[in-house]
């Protein structure tokens, strides 16, 4: 019989040392988003399943926990990604005619972990722009993502640019079943050349050659040159190449220390992406810290197709790369029934100070706060002294 206190696999408590660092990071990211004019929304943790999954593809369905609502008898889902919820809020609750900038931060739940060391309960932060189809919105989202990581002091960043239209353009004229499409995208995402060759064996030569070339289009500026020379010359691919090049030019100008590359077969994440995509890594890292891009069709299932672009990240993953400890300076105070002491403690807390009262018998115990000052009695007055 298993112990009652054991948690499910890939589910863990967040203890004080890590929790304070995550909370510090959460505040940094929300402040960064607010500085760009993003409004905070707080969608519910669960919704009717069709609302959570409509238009998102099979991958999100497989990652979503389902349960039956005892009030209505309908199937509910625990969100595995917040973007569909924010699209619903934009489409139905806000319903603004112009631009809308929204951000969020809350837990999501996955049926399976993304990797052997991944949590099934990420703490997802994201920011999204609705209502602008131009690349200016894509660039703003890139800038905010970099700003967030910069404020968190995550250094030596690497950004890969991609676009969903490269695969769409390589499949022009080809009709695939949902199962075939999922298998093909999985092979491209994992760069499984053998599987890709098997899946494309019966496709027309132009499509087959383009799809088999995509996994090799990973690297520097030479990638775009090869793509222009060897991929089909159709409107989807040409527009994707032009847009990726425009973004790269602006990012290099504004972020000269950013290492920028291209991965034209990058399909990681969810199926709702429709245009430019990006991923940000720490130097030497294999798992993206941030993923984002354009998903203009995500609101269509809610009756309002709006241009949309955004990004998300998992605070639990990003916090592993930050340098701050999260400790806050505090004042140590004795516990006493002395009314002057108790009044002094209240005044300090009202001023925003953290005051840790040492309860009787615990005077020599360590705590989670960095008590660099102490409240002591001097000539009948309670004053703050350095420790």
Q: Which residues are annotated as a binding site for L-histidine?
A: 81-83, 124, 128, 272-273
Give the residue numbers of the binding site.
81-83, 124, 128, 272-273
Token pair, residue 4, equals: 């009652």
User: Residue 31: helix, strand or coil by DSSP?
Assistant: helix
Question: What is the Cα–Cα distance from 374 to 366, expressed in whole angstroms?
Answer: 14
**Hey, CA dihedral for 93, 94, 97, 98, is it positive or negative?**
negative
The count of other CB atoms within 10 Å of the CB of residue 321 is 18
Question: What is the Cα–Cα distance from 314 to 289, expressed in whole angstroms?
Answer: 7
Q: Are 276 and 86 in contact (CB under 8 A)?
A: no
Q: Are 297 and 281 in contact (CB under 8 A)?
A: no
Q: Do the strands 381-386 and 370-378 form a parallel or antiparallel pair, or are they unpaired?
A: antiparallel
Token pair, residue 371, equals: 């008590």
Q: Which residues contact 357 (CB under 8 A, 6 or more apart)?
A: 333, 334, 335, 345
For the chain, where are the alpha helices, taking DSSP H only?
16-35, 49-53, 58-62, 83-88, 135-151, 164-170, 178-189, 193-199, 205-213, 222-230, 235-254, 315-318, 339-350
Question: What is the Cα–Cα distance from 55 to 126, expressed in whole angstroms?
Answer: 19
């Amino acid at each position: 019989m298993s112990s009652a206190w054991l948690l499910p696999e890939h589910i863990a408590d967040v203890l004080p040392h890590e929790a304070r660092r995550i909370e510090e990071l959460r505040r940094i990211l929300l402040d960064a988003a607010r500085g760009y004019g993003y409004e905070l929304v707080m969608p519910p943790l669960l919704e009717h399943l069709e609302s959570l999954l409509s238009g998102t593809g099979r991958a999100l369905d497989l990652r979503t926990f389902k349960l039956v609502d005892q009030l209505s008898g309908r199937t509910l889902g625990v969100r595995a990604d917040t973007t569909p919820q924010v699209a619903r809020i934009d489409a139905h609750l806000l319903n603004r005619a112009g631009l809308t900038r929204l951000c969020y931060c809350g837990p999501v739940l996955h049926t399976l972990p993304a990797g052997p060391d991944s949590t099934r309960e990420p703490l997802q932060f994201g920011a999204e722009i609705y209502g602008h189809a131009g690349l200016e919105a894509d660039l703003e989202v890139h800038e905010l993502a970099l700003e967030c990581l910069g404020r968190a002091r995550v250094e030596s960043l690497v950004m890969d640019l991609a676009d969903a239209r490269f695969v769409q353009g390589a499949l022009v004229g080809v009709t695939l079943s949902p199962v075939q499409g999922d298998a093909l995208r999985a092979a491209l995402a994992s760069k499984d050349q053998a599987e890709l060759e098997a899946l494309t064996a019966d496709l027309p030569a132009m499509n087959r050659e383009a799809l088999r070339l995509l996994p090799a289009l990973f690297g520097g500026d030479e990638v775009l040159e090869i793509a222009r020379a060897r991929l089909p010359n159709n409107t989807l691919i040409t527009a994707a190449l032009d847009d990726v090049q425009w973004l790269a030019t602006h990012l290099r100008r504004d972020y000269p220390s950013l290492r920028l590359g291209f991965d034209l077969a990058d399909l990681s994440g969810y199926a709702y992406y429709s245009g430019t995509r990006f991923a940000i890594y720490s130097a030497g890292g294999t798992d993206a810290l941030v993923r984002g891009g354009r998903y203009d069709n995500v609101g269509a299932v809610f009756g309002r197709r709006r241009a949309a672009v955004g990004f998300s990240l998992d605070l639990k993953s990003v916090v592993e790369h930050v340098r701050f400890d999260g400790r806050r300076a505090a004042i140590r105070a004795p516990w006493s029934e002395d009314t002057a002491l108790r009044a002094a403690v209240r005044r300090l807390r009202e001023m925003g100070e953290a005051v840790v009262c040492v309860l009787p018998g615990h005077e020599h115990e360590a705590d989670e706060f960095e008590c660099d000052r102490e409240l002591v009695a001097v000539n009948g007055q309670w004053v703050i002294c350095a420790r």
